[in-house]
Amino acid sequence: MSDINLEKIDDFRWRIPKAYKPGMRVPGIIYCDEKLLKDIRQDKALEQVANVAFLPGIVNASLAMPDIHWGYGFPIGGVAATDPENGGVISPGGVGFDINCGVRMLKTNLQYEDVKDKLKDLTYALFSDIPSGVGSKGDIRVSAKEEQEILIKGAQWAVEKGYGTQDDLDCTEENGAMPGADPEAVSERAYERGKAQSGTLGSGNHFLEVQVIDQLYDRNACDALNLDLGQVTIMIHSGSRGFGYQVCEDYTRSMMSCLQKYNINVPDRQLASAPLKSDEGKAYLGAMKCAANYAWANRQCLMHLTRLTFEKIFNLAWQKLGMFLIYDVAHNIAKIEKHIVDGQEKTLCVHRKGATRSLPAGHPELPERYKKLGQPVIIPGDMGRNSYLLVGQDGAKETFFSCCHGAGRLKSRTAAARSINLDTLLKELESQGIIVKASGRGTIVEEAPQAYKNVNDVVSVVHNTGLAKRVCRMRPLGVIKG
């Protein structure tokens, strides 16, 4: 429980003053309302916001999105930008263990009426065809040479193998690959863990969800995206699997020595970091980009497998089914970006831990098709509530064009397992017309709706602060969990 005395800025913003802890270089800013603040105070995430403010070179503020909860070093839902020209550091704890865990959303030409009688078959087929669960291994096996290609090419590798199209890359952040990946900065153990996990969903909060649009908020944006009420959509949430986890583990351990070497004073050793201009900082950034590219390739492969399953169930090519990618957003990533600070353009390292980019219309990094609309922002909920599609807004300028990435946990997995009855939960979901398949019964309980904040409350804050604008809302129909 956190009792930090926060200063209220307005109905949706709160400040942790620099005076809260000697050594804070900037204040903390939390985006939430009174209702969410009560939930946020249940763990030590606010303390972590204050701790992040100690990082050398941090710019403006240590930021927290409305889905914030306790994490490793940084809170999940934490954003921080550091200035490499002012001693700015990069911290593996500010990226997370599942590097470039992210979400992609597909539309279809199918309506709810087209799938309702096939929903059970479809959900079971997706569960059968897409490997999921802890340590899951897929049919897409790669040689050591090919694995290095994945780390450089990202989703493009998958497209070259026939697992997608150029159009998919155009609708993926960074076109599915960050330049500057350094395979030499990756350990043998990471290579070993990653070689059999391409095209696998993983465990925990990773999911594949068949959804239906149940509410429209912006008719013009929906028309631009060819979206309408009753239309079936799909979300895929996965990341860099064991490969990214090992990269983070390797560098969180090795960077402990950097704290003393570079005289970095932080109140939590989980904030181990290195100057961006140091050898250690450059090595981590190169390895992190490898893991990010692995994740984009993984989600591309997962989408390919999803398209194949739909083809099998509906006996039509995926193109005829209209299964086109709307967008793929990354969270758990650090990116070198240009931002305006105090009227001057600066090159910064933006850490987004459980946070995603939210670029407004006209931003130079947007693909041409979204220049007028703004970047699609995907905020999934839990398996019993809604998910949202939004578009980036100018208001996100104050967060380095960042937004939240989901609902945010309310209960730990242990607490959820203790307090939620599986049979009761499954009956509740079934009564809502939701079919769930998971590799373990425990996963369903750990990922129950009661374990998460209400995504509708979270998205309300995002919309009202101008971080992103609501476009449409989806509800789950069939859910695949690891």
- Could you list the active site residues? 405
Of the candidates 479, 469, 307, the residue with the CA atom closest to the CA atom of residue 388: 469
CA–CA dist 201, 237 (Å, integer): 8
**What CA–CA distance (Å, rounded) separates 184 from 287?**
8
For residues 173 and 95, what is the distance between their CA atoms, to the nearest angstrom? 16
Using CA atoms, how far apart are residues 300 and 102, in angstroms rounded to an integer? 11
Question: Contact, 194 vs 443, CB < 8 A?
Answer: no
Alpha-carbon span 158 to 152, nearest angstrom: 12
| Tokens encoding 24 | 């804070």
**Which distant-in-sequence residues (6+ apart) come within 8 Å of 257 by Cβ?**
none
The SS3 of residue 89 is strand
Token couple for 275? 């100057």
Which of the 8 DSSP states describes residue 42?
A: T
Q: What is the CA radius of gyration of the chain?
A: 21
Where b means 16+ CB within 10 Å and e means fewer, 438-477 reads bbeeebbbbbbbebbbbbebbbbbbbebbbbbbbbbbbbb
Please give the Cα distance from 5 to 14 (Å, whole number): 10
Largest CA distance in the chain: 64
Classify burial at 2, counting beta carbons within 10 Å of its beta carbon; exposed 0-12, middle 13-18, buried 19 or more: middle
Which letter does DSSP use for residue 300 in this model?
A: H
Long-range contacts (CB closer than 8 Å, 24 or more residues apart) made by 7-11: 11/464
CB-based burial label for 276 (10 Å; 0-12, 13-18, 19+): buried
Compute the distance between CA of residue 253 and CA of residue 13 in angstroms, rounded to an integer: 35
342: left (phi over 0), alpha (psi -120 to 50) or beta: left
